[in-house]
Amino acid sequence: MSNAILVVGGGLTGLTAAIEAAELGHEVYLVEKNPWLGGRVAQLTKYFPKLCPPSCGLEIQFQRIKKNPLIKCFTMTELVGLKGKKGGYTAKIRLNPRHTPPFNVDFSLLASSLEGEAPSEFELGMTKRKALYKAMPFAFPARWVLDPSALSKSDAARVAGAKFLNINEKAKEIELDVASIIVATGWRPYDMANLPNLGGGKWKNCISNMQMERLASPFGPTGGVIKRPSDGQRPLSVAFAQCAGSRDQNHLNYCSYICCMATFKQCLYLVEQNPQVRITVYYIDLRAPGRYINTLEKVQKLPNVRFVKGKVAEILPGRGDNLRVVAENAITGEKQTLEYELCVLATGMQPSLAAESLPLPMPLDMDGFVAGGEEAGIFAAGCARMPLDVSRSAQAGTAAALKASQIAKGR
Amino acid sequence: MAAITLQPDMDFVRRLKETGGHNLKECYQCATCSVACPMAPDNKPFPRKEMVWASFGLKEKLTGDIDLWLCHNCGNCSDLCPRHAGPAELMSAARDIIYRDMLKPRLIGEWMSKPSGLVPLFLIPALIWFIVWWIRASIVGSWFPRAADGRIVFGTIFYGDYTIDPIFMITFFGAAFILAHGCRKLLDKFRPEGKLAVIGKKKNWFVCLMEVLWEETGSASKFAQCEEGPATGEPHKTRRFSHTMLVWSFCILTFVTTVVAIGHWGGKILPFILIETPMPQGFWVKILANIGAALLIIALIMLTWRRATLNRHQASNYYDWYLLGIIWAVALTGMFTQIFRLMDWIHWAFVIYYIHLVVVWMLFAYVPWSKLGHFVYRTAAMVYARMYGRS
């Protein structure tokens, strides 16, 4: 019997849950599939409510992890099996090989000499990374990763001789005794390929809102200057298509909650970078919950931003690399086809579990959100349960830690 | 701004739902449908506004809406609708309510709207033709007589000059008269209140009609345009060829009927154009008739297959199936009449021919209240739109 708690997912919800549980005195295993912690928040340029950069909030959490010996983090790791019952589970996890040593070695020189490249997962495919890479400058843990599948032939020879790399490292599986489990598997942006009428991801200058976050990020592919992908020009006219896949029975049959606010935030990025920019936001309803109404009002006051009530239902190629956006203005009853230099699809949140399964006895609803499991000592939190913003995800993480702790107490 | 109090007709909403617009209340006015529709013009596109009129129960607005007839029901809007509210089904249901309500006698509209109405609708012509059969049988002395040379000649019972021709002439011209009346009523509804002024040269109605007919049946370019909407990711089944084929088969069969009628009646005055039925199989009119029948069957199979396998977002209602069903009945009974006659199965031949007469009468007599009326109402609406715009 153990008083340990397993946390699946190292995004802001999982980090918060893990830290809160550890600070209550539990041993915590934090399992993260990616090589870094911080999840989707780490990819943002700024986040609500205060519009701080992600380093701001994540840094605090990372400090708390560093100081707390009760937390054991496993990155590049997946949960592959579960035995036992509530209060006495044995979880099997698979540690995928990182091929780099557990201490921090700076591989930047070696990495820059390599030829092989692969699309960067962290930059959502907008740039390439080397086979030996660190996802972002302040990745935590600050360790490099070697992706052997991206090595070219000459790279392989170079890497074989490198002192600190172990190309032969194999995946290994270990078992952990835990009392309860917190599921914080989070979300992923809805795939644009599912939206054929909006270009299906085929048009270069039609990007998702998460890609926009990377474009605006100081350590993103453009160094924080918002440039359109096709020719690196700074866009003068930008369209935002809200509810791209959300509130749609053919796609995500729910409101993704964050996309309106993300768009308002991105309007601010654009206007800050270029006061000449003209923005049109096409929407069904503008949803600014609670105090976020202040941000909406701020954006509505901007002379650069025009709001059109009417969903974008078609995006076509225009002159050059521009895009033609077709929508009916439902207030005036006019179907408008307007040309923009950049188009941002406010794609919604799809729970990660809609596409991946976990070996856990918990039901999912038809959209892939966790819909139970508490009776088995499994507590879902954050965007694995419902679409949430960052601060509510953190609160959900704390709440889950409290519940998981009640199962593990006194053992 | 003046305050407007809407007068919702809840009964109309209920009927729209029953007729096929089941999910119309799901609509949240996102306006996807207006973009999905390649036919909808930029100014006041459809069907978003129709969805809100339907939801609010604004009967006069919806039934007097010319855009109902500009819709060719490709179903793109229903494919892309994020709420599965079925704008295409709603437009279709609104047209069906017009077929049902616009013309007297209302009872026929009522019967035409539901399967149980098929019984009286069938019994009327069944009785008419049975009386004809009965009278002729008592004159000829047999219910299944043969011609003097032993052939099966339907004219022995259903003698053209005194039975078929007068009854169908009355039916045909009666239906045409009622349709014309329906057209007038429909065009009155399109007309905006007050005076209508046309700036510039007024377009000639005949030229407009020819243009519309060319677009609809000649080149079928409207159907091509209808299918040019945004990609939906759903399999889309074209109607361009099957519908055109059906229309052409109707044209061929109408032509054949006209030729035979002229040959028969005109032959009484000018003997050299005389045509006697049954025509020999090698006669060019007969060949043309068989080609028309074959095209009809092929087109029917294609259209029925399309309806039966519509994608998950689109639906067919009773009006769609009635029209397909009645044309199937006409085509099949017509075909089997000839087959049984050639096979010399006299009882089958006469019974099937009798049913053929019944269903042909149903097809013609009930046109003003059936979906087939669209060929007149839609044409009228499109000519009006060309002449005066969409108001």
Q: What is the CA radius of gyration of chain B?
A: 23
Lowest pLDDT segment from A55-59, A396-400, B353-357: A55-59
B61 and B178 share a domain? no
A330 in contact with B, Cβ within 8 Å: yes
Residue B331: predicted pLDDT: 92
Say whether B84 and A330 touch across the interface (CB within 8 A): no
Q: Is the pLDDT of residue A411 over 50?
A: no
Residue B222: predicted pLDDT: 84
Best A307, A311, A326 member to test B by mutation, with max B CBs in 10 Å, is: A311
CA distance A22 to A397: 13
φ, ψ at A240 (rounded to 5°): -110, 125
B230 vs A313, A333, A335: nearest CB: A313
A332 in contact with B, Cβ within 8 Å: no
Residue A51: predicted pLDDT: 94
As its CATH architecture, domain A191-347 has 3-Layer(bba) Sandwich (3.50)
Say whether B34 and A335 touch across the interface (CB within 8 A): yes
A101 in contact with B, Cβ within 8 Å: no
Q: Is the pLDDT of residue B89 over 80?
A: yes
B65 and B89 share a domain? yes
Residue B1: predicted pLDDT: 61
Task: Tell whether B35 is covered by a domain.
Answer: yes
Contacts of B34 in chain A (CB under 8 A): 310, 313, 328, 335
Residue type, B27: C
CA dihedral A104, A106, A112, A113 (to 10 degrees): -100
Q: Is the pLDDT of residue B176 over 90?
A: yes
Say whether A335 and B42 touch across the interface (CB within 8 A): yes
If pLDDT is split at 50, 70 and 90, which confidence band does A410 have? low
End position of a domain, from candidates B44, B73, B102: B102
Segment A136-192, tens digit of pLDDT: 888 999 999 999 999 999 999 988 888 899 999 999 999 999 999 999 999 999 999
Give mean pLDDT, residues A215-236: 95
B174 in contact with A, Cβ within 8 Å: no
The residues, any chain, with a CB within 8 Å of residue A290's CB and separated by 6 or more, are none
A255 in contact with B, Cβ within 8 Å: no
Query: 């098929």: which residue's tokens?
Result: B118
| 3-state SS assignment for residue B43 | strand
Task: Tell whether B108 is covered by a domain.
Answer: no
The segment(s) of chain A belonging to CATH 3.50.50.60 are: 5-96+171-188+350-408, 191-347
End position of a domain, from candidates B102, B127, B152: B102
Task: Count chain A–chain B contacts defined by CB atoms under 8 A.
Answer: 81
B51 and B173 share a domain? no
Min Cα separation A285/chain B (Å):
9
B84 in contact with A, Cβ within 8 Å: yes
B232 in contact with A, Cβ within 8 Å: yes
Query: 């690196």: which residue's tokens?
Result: A232
The angle, 0 to 180 degrees and rounded to 10, between the axes of the packed helices B374-388 and B205-213 is: 130
B147 in contact with A, Cβ within 8 Å: no
Contacts of A333 in chain B (CB under 8 A): 43-45, 49
Q: Transcribe A381-402 into DSSP letters.
A: -GGGTS---HHHHHHHHHHHHH
B44 in contact with A, Cβ within 8 Å: yes
Contacts of B47 in chain A (CB under 8 A): none
B129 and B276 share a domain? yes
DSSP state of B222: H
Say whether A250 and B80 touch across the interface (CB within 8 A): yes
Pick the CATH number of A5-96+171-188+350-408 from 3.10.20.30, 4.10.80.400, 3.50.50.60, 3.40.50.2300: 3.50.50.60
Q: Is the pLDDT of residue B196 over 80?
A: no
Say whether B30 and A337 touch across the interface (CB within 8 A): no
Q: Is the pLDDT of residue B154 over 80?
A: yes
B266 and B342 share a domain? yes
If pLDDT is split at 50, 70 and 90, which confidence band does B233 have? confident
CA distance A334 to A318: 20
B222 in contact with A, Cβ within 8 Å: no
**Domain membership of residue B81 as a residue range:** 10-102
Strand A342-347 to strand A349-351: parallel, antiparallel, or no bridges (unpaired)?
Answer: unpaired
H helical segments located in chain B: 10-19, 32-36, 48-56, 59-63, 67-70, 76-80, 87-101, 106-112, 118-140, 165-190, 205-213, 221-226, 240-261, 284-308, 318-343, 346-365, 374-388
A327 in contact with B, Cβ within 8 Å: yes
A380 close to A277: Cβ distance less than 8 angstroms: no
Q: What's the domain count of chain B?
A: 2
CB within 8 Å of chain A, chain B residues 175-214: none
Closest-approach residue (CA) in chain B for A316: B230
Residue A119: predicted pLDDT: 95
Residue A1: predicted pLDDT: 65
Task: Tell whether B1 is covered by a domain.
Answer: no
Say whether A333 and B44 touch across the interface (CB within 8 A): yes
Say whether A313 and B80 touch across the interface (CB within 8 A): yes
What pTM did the predictor assign? 0.91
A328 vs B48, B84, B233: nearest CB: B48
Task: Tell whether B264 is covered by a domain.
Answer: yes
CB within 8 Å of chain B, chain A residues 198-237: 200
Segment A247-261, tens digit of pLDDT: 999 999 999 999 999
Supply the CATH number for residue B42's domain: 1.10.1060.10
End position of a domain, from candidates B78, B102, B126: B102
**Residue among B8, B70, B7, B84 at smallest CA distance from B41:** B70
A225 close to A251: Cβ distance less than 8 angstroms: no
Say whether B43 and A248 touch across the interface (CB within 8 A): no
B213 and B280 share a domain? yes
B372 and B303 share a domain? yes
Say whether A247 and B35 touch across the interface (CB within 8 A): no
CA distance A18 to A10: 9
Say whether A200 and B31 touch across the interface (CB within 8 A): no
Strand A180-183 to strand A378-380: parallel, antiparallel, or no bridges (unpaired)?
Answer: parallel
Say whether B82 and A328 touch across the interface (CB within 8 A): no
Closest-approach residue (CA) in chain A for B37: A313
B36 and B138 share a domain? no
Task: Tell whether B4 is covered by a domain.
Answer: no
B60 and B128 share a domain? no
Cβ neighbours of A119 (radius 10 Å): 12
Give mean pLDDT, residues B79-92: 95
Say whether B31 and A330 touch across the interface (CB within 8 A): yes
Segment of A104-113, A277-286, B263-272 carrying the highest mean pLDDT? A277-286
B129 and B266 share a domain? yes
B212 and B313 share a domain? yes
Min Cα separation A329/chain B (Å):
8
Q: What is the CA radius of gyration of chain A?
A: 22
**Token code pair at residue A210:** 């998460």
CA distance A342 to B123: 65
Closest-approach residue (CA) in chain B for A252: B82
Give mean pLDDT, residues A388-397: 96
A239 close to A340: Cβ distance less than 8 angstroms: yes
Segment A368-385, tens digit of pLDDT: 999 999 999 999 999 999
Segment B339-382, tens digit of pLDDT: 999 999 999 999 999 999 999 999 999 999 999 999 999 999 99
A14, A43, A81, A216, A290 from A49: Cα distances, Å? 19, 16, 38, 18, 11
B95 and B141 share a domain? no
